[in-house]
């Protein structure tokens, strides 16, 4: 029998790519999502497959799945700064209570669990690039605190379950990732800029655009996560692309790529917006023999092609179809 893997946040951006990855490798996939920010359209193509099951469930509540589970990948969480403002309590709960439930579930099933952590645990970093030994600079009570602190709690809880209960745990610290299936209206910089280009609006750079990010294409990230899951390394590992760019240059790159005539306009910098971010991926290279392969030019092109395929209706008012629309096998 092939191994059985539970993926939470399965209808989201990363969760749905993980579902594809595991289904293609003949795992039996149990997908779970409460669909607050996920979209069934992302996994619609998997719903009829015999090795794919979907549960509409909020992992902040007790988690139960009948039968054996070998691996758990906990990817349920809002992941965009505007989501943290709109649904702060759910963001806190899924990172804390949800993680606790899934660690208990892993213990009960004798399963290995990998949790999705984030570069946000480094906050507005005083160390550059960020390596895994840096403890971070986080404002607990700012608007992003609900995400950052839930993820920091998640790491603490995960290490405690490993040390106290002997659960097999893995922690990936994910840096900015992009690709098809990002929500066009999720407020993050890449879908924001592409959406603006496609609607013929000017690109909104926050602050003076001198803040930096380092963008990783989704297929590279998923490969790194898979290697970490199968490794025997229990401490956090950064996965991301160290190619760093200012947000202003990023906006210019997108204007060039799309050959658009849009201008750049400036808007206020959000509270606690980190000024610089770049992963040190020495550990991932050494332990997982992993490094990103997709250059930004190529990844942006693939992502733009995806957004261009969306209908004008989706572009202007991007709404998710309901769970019921997709739950018909």
Residues lying near ligand UDP in the complex (CB under 6 A) are found at 81, 176, 187-189, 192, 204-206, 211, 213, 247, 269-270, 273
Q: Which of 256, 207, 239, 204 is nearest to 18 (CA)?
A: 239
Nearest distance, CB of residue 174 and ligand UDP, angstroms: 11
Active site residue 147: yes
- Extract long-range pairs of 134-141: CB within 8 Å, 24+ residues apart: 139/272
Residue ranges with strand state E in the chain: 4-8, 28-33, 52-56, 71-74, 112-118, 169-174, 177-178, 203-206, 212-214, 216-217, 237-239, 244-246, 264-267
Which lies closer to ligand UDP via its Cβ, residue 8 or residue 196?
196
- Residue linked to tokens 């991926």: 281
- Residue linked to tokens 């950064």: 238
Nearest distance, CB of residue 122 and ligand UDP, angstroms: 11
Nearest distance, CB of residue 92 and ligand UDP, angstroms: 17
* Max CA distance (Å), the chain: 58
Nearest distance, CB of residue 32 and ligand UDP, angstroms: 24
Which lies closer to ligand UDP via its Cβ, residue 169 or residue 241?
241
Nearest distance, CB of residue 27 and ligand UDP, angstroms: 30
Which lies closer to ligand UDP via its Cβ, residue 231 or residue 246?
246
Burial of 239 (0-12, 13-18, 19+ CB in 10 A): buried
Residue 125 neighbours by CB under 8 Å, 6+ apart: 134, 136, 137, 274, 276, 277
Which lies closer to ligand UDP via its Cβ, residue 113 or residue 251?
251
Nearest distance, CB of residue 178 and ligand UDP, angstroms: 9
**For strand 177-178 and strand 212-214, is the pairing parallel, antiparallel, or unpaired?**
unpaired
Q: Which of 239, 217, 236 is nearest to 289 (CA)?
A: 239
Which lies closer to ligand UDP via its Cβ, residue 70 or residue 202?
202
Question: Is residue 315 within 8 Å of 199, Cβ to Cβ?
Answer: yes
Q: Which of 262, 250, 253 is nearest to 200 (CA)?
A: 262
Burial of 325 (0-12, 13-18, 19+ CB in 10 A): exposed
Which lies closer to ligand UDP via its Cβ, residue 43 or residue 192?
192
Of 71, 84, 122, 147, catalytic = 147
Question: Is residue 243 within 8 Å of 217, Cβ to Cβ?
Answer: no
Catalytic residue positions, numbered: 147
């Amino acid at each position: 029998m092939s191994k059985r893997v539970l993926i939470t946040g399965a209808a989201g951006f990363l969760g749905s790519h993980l579902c594809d990855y595991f289904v293609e490798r003949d795992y039996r996939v149990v997908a779970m999502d409460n669909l607050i920010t996920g979209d069934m359209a992302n996994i619609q193509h998997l719903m009829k497959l015999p090795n794919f099951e979907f549960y509409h469930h909020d992992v902040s509540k007790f988690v139960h799945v009948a039968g054996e589970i070998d691996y758990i990948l906990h990817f349920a969480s809002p992941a965009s700064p505007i989501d943290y403002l709109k649904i702060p309590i759910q963001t806190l709960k899924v990172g804390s209570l949800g993680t606790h439930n899934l660690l208990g579930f892993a213990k009960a099933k004798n399963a290995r669990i990998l949790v999705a952590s984030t570069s946000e645990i480094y906050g507005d970093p005083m160390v550059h690039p960020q390596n895994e030994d840096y403890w971070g600079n986080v404002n607990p009570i700012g608007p992003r605190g609900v995400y950052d602190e839930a993820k920091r709690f998640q790491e603490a809880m995960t290490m405690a379950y490993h040390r106290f209960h002997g659960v097999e745990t893995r922690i990936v610290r994910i840096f900015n990732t992009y690709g098809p299936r990002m929500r066009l209206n999720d407020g993050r910089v890449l879908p924001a800029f592409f959406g603006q280009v496609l609607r013929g609006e000017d690109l909104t750079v926050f602050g003076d655009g001198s803040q930096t990010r380092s963008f990783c294409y989704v297929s590279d990230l998923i490969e790194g996560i898979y290697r970490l899951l199968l490794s025997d390394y229990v401490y956090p590992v950064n996965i991301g692309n160290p190619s760093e760019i200012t947000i202003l240059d990023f906006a210019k790159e997108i204007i060039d790529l799309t050959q658009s005539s849009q201008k750049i306009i400036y808007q206020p910098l959000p509270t606690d917006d980190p000024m610089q971010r770049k992963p040190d991926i020495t550990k991932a290279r050494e332990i997982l023999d992993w490094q990103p392969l997709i250059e930004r030019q190529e990844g942006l092109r693939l992502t733009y092609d995806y957004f261009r395929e969306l209908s004008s209706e989706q572009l202007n008012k991007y709404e998710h179809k309901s769970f019921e629309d997709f739950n018909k096998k």
